Amino acid sequence: MEQQESGTSRRAFLERLGAVGGTAMVMAAMDAWHVPTASAATAPPALTGAGKGKTIVILGAGHAGQVAAFELNKLGYRCIVLEARGFAGGRVQTARRGFTATELGGETQRCDFDPGEYLNIGPWRIPFHHRSTLHYTKQFGVPLETMVNDNDAAWMQHNDGSGALKGKRVRQYEVKTDLRGRVNELIAKAATSGQLDQQVRAEDRELFLDYLASSGRLKKDLAYRGSDLRGYVKPPGAGDQPGTIDDPYGLSDLLQSHLWRDFQVGEYTHPLTMFQPVGGMDQIAKAFEKRNAPMLRFNCEVQQIRQTDKAVTVNYVDTKTGKTASVTGDFCLCTIPLSVLRSIDTPFSDDFRAAMDDATYVPVGKIGLQMKRRFWEEDDGIYGGHVKLDHPAIRQISLPSNNFQGQKGTLLGAYLLFDGATEVSAMSLKERIDYALAAGEAVFPGSYRANFERGFSWFWHLAKYNLGGWANWTAEARKDSYPKLLNADGRIYLAGEHLSYLGGWQAGAIESAWQQIEKIHQRAQQA
């Protein structure tokens, strides 16, 4: 009982909801959990006028801070960006050879991947509809490549169900094709036996059946007996080798396997293909950094913010020298995550502060594994995409979309969220890697551990200047508290992914900055 309960997860929750309220209820819950959506703005605000003679103090050099500095500077404002870390980008970081990082309460890790190998420890994929992010990659000429976000050839393996498919390693295309075929067959038969006459107009019936038959690969008698879409047991080839298709799985086995729960990618939100910058996501941060260099001040940890009705003063400590200093500006744009900001000495009203406390942050982390050989490509023909598991914490293993057919490769052995993240992050660095290897070995027996060379793990709730992966707003907090933070407290404005409906996406940080600099600019023009 206790064991079972401690595994309670989003999925278990959705399962329970589904049992109680059906799919509609699950969908409603997923909606309330805010499955990320499109970006609303496609270009920075078209601002006119000049910022000459005015100083804007920007706190944080993540995307929100960098976008603000880049755009405000163009208008003639004097921008000073205070960044606690020794580099720009915030969450947009890529671990590669020589990269070092230290978690709170942890040892310093030094990435020793081979040259060319890397792991995006923060953001890793950009959907086509994040036009704000893509606005800057295009403007700065950051080369993009396809990120294979779904791969029907990738394995899936579940032990949590029952029936013939329990524990069996199967290809996603087999399961998808058979499910569609089996379900379409049932609906088609119901339609031809008059059971759907109420729901499907007589003049639509033929098209309806056509659709079911073609998408489900049904035979003339509307039965599903397998199809080439589910792959071959003996592949077709030259000469007299037509190929052999296996019998499809039965509906009951498919349902009882629980494998269908893993088909969540596709369509709009998490499109089948996304983008990734060639060489690592930090290329975007670096492109900004190059252009913003004169405005950026590193190793400046903000400790206190004060304001009058004329100016904002920010006191910070230089973490290299331990010396304190201060800067004063006409306005301040603060992009420090709320999880961190709440412990900084700020002049905010009680109401504003209470609103800040209403956001919680999601524990998130990643484990990257450098493999000596691309066995997933060479042995199994899987190029990118996600292998799906029902492991208690590791739900997918993501295969690299760069350097196909290269020698080595670095895969994302674990992308952990919520209690999976808290649990694994409490382990030692070595234990984390072992944990990830054990999960992968189950689906790539004989190859996973044998090819493992080096690992790197990183957890954002243990990152001193983040204290969490991204902000999480409940429906109530979104309604009551979130709008308050969109307004200035005196001369201080907030920005960042946490102030968007694109939480946990780079686009959210960028568009939030766009929105807030427009407000600052308008106010500065009036003064």
Partner 1 sequence: MKVAVTLFALLVAAPCAAQDVAAGEVLYKQKCAACHQPTGKGVKGAFPALAGDALVLGDPALLSRMLLVGKGGMPTFKRLMTDQQIADVLSFVRSSFGNSAAPVLPDVVAAMRATLPASGGPTGPLGN
Instruction: By CB under 8 A, tell whether 499 contacts partner 1.
Output: no
Q: How far is the CB of 498 from ligand FAD (least distance, A)?
A: 7
Q: Which residue has the tokens 């295009």?
A: 138
CA angle (517 as vertex; 513, 521 as ends), nearest 5: 175
Q: Please identify which residue in 285, 364, 399, 437 interacts with partner 1, judged by CB under 8 A.
A: 364
Dist CA 157 CA 174 (whole Å): 12
Instruction: By CB under 6 A, tell whether 496 contacts ligand FAD.
Output: yes
Phi/psi at 360 (5° precision): -110, 165
Q: How far is the CB of 425 from partner 1 (least distance, A)?
A: 4
**The tokens of 43 are what?**
């270009």
Contact region with ligand FAD (CB under 6 A), list: 254-262, 372-380, 473-481, 500-508? 500-508
Q: Which residue has the tokens 């405000």?
A: 72
Angstrom CA distances, 150 to 125, 147, 272, 398, stand at 12, 9, 5, 9
Q: Which residues pair with 277 in a beta bridge?
A: 144
Instruction: By CB under 8 A, tell whether 388 contacts partner 1.
Output: no
Own/partner pairs, 478-485, CB within 8 angstroms, 24+ separation:
480/355, 480/358, 481/354, 481/355, 481/356, 481/358, 481/359, 482/355, 482/358, 482/359, 484/351, 484/352, 484/355, 485/338, 485/352, 485/355, 485/356
Q: How far is the CB of 410 from partner 1 (least distance, A)?
A: 18
Nearest to 422 by CA among 472, 467, 365, 338: 365
Q: How far is the CB of 146 from ligand FAD (least distance, A)?
A: 14
**Which partner from the list partner 1, ligand FAD, none does 34 bind, CB cut-off 5 to 8 Å by kind?**
partner 1
Percentages helix, strand, coil for the chain (3-state, rounded to 5) are 35, 20, 40
Own/partner pairs, 234-237, CB within 8 angstroms, 24+ separation:
none
Report DSSP state, residue 250.
P
Site string for ligand FAD, 452-491 (x = CB under 6 A): --------x----xx--xx---------------------
Q: How far is the CB of 409 from partner 1 (least distance, A)?
A: 21
Q: How far is the CB of 490 from ligand FAD (least distance, A)?
A: 19
Dist CA 229 CA 179 (whole Å): 12
Contact region with partner 1 (CB under 8 A), list: 1-9, 68-76, 140-148, 150-158? 1-9
Instruction: By CB under 8 A, tell whether 413 contacts partner 1.
Output: no
Q: Please identify which residue in 21, 33, 110, 268 interacts with partner 1, judged by CB under 8 A.
A: 33
**Which partner from the list partner 1, ligand FAD, none does 55 bind, CB cut-off 5 to 8 Å by kind?**
none
Residues that contact ligand FAD, how many (by CB under 6 A): 42
Is the separation of the CB atoms in 124 and 97 below 8 Å?
Answer: no
Residue 492's contacts (CB-CB under 8 Å, 6 or more residues apart) are 305, 307, 312, 331, 332, 333, 334, 346, 347, 348
Q: Please identify which residue in 25, 29, 144, 488 interacts with partner 1, judged by CB under 8 A.
A: 29
Q: Please identify which residue in 54, 125, 176, 454 interacts with ligand FAD, judged by CB under 6 A.
A: 125
Instruction: By CB under 8 A, tell whether 105 contacts partner 1.
Output: yes
CB atoms within 10 A of CB 463: 26
Residues that bind ligand FAD (CB under 6 A): 59-65, 82-85, 90-92, 122-126, 133, 301-302, 335-337, 340, 344, 364, 366, 460, 465-466, 469-470, 496-497, 504-509
Residues that bind partner 1 (CB under 8 A): 2, 5-6, 8-11, 13-14, 29-30, 32-36, 104-105, 123, 264-265, 270, 338-340, 342-343, 356-357, 359-364, 415, 417-419, 422-423, 425-426, 459, 461-462, 464, 467-468, 470, 472, 474-476, 503-505
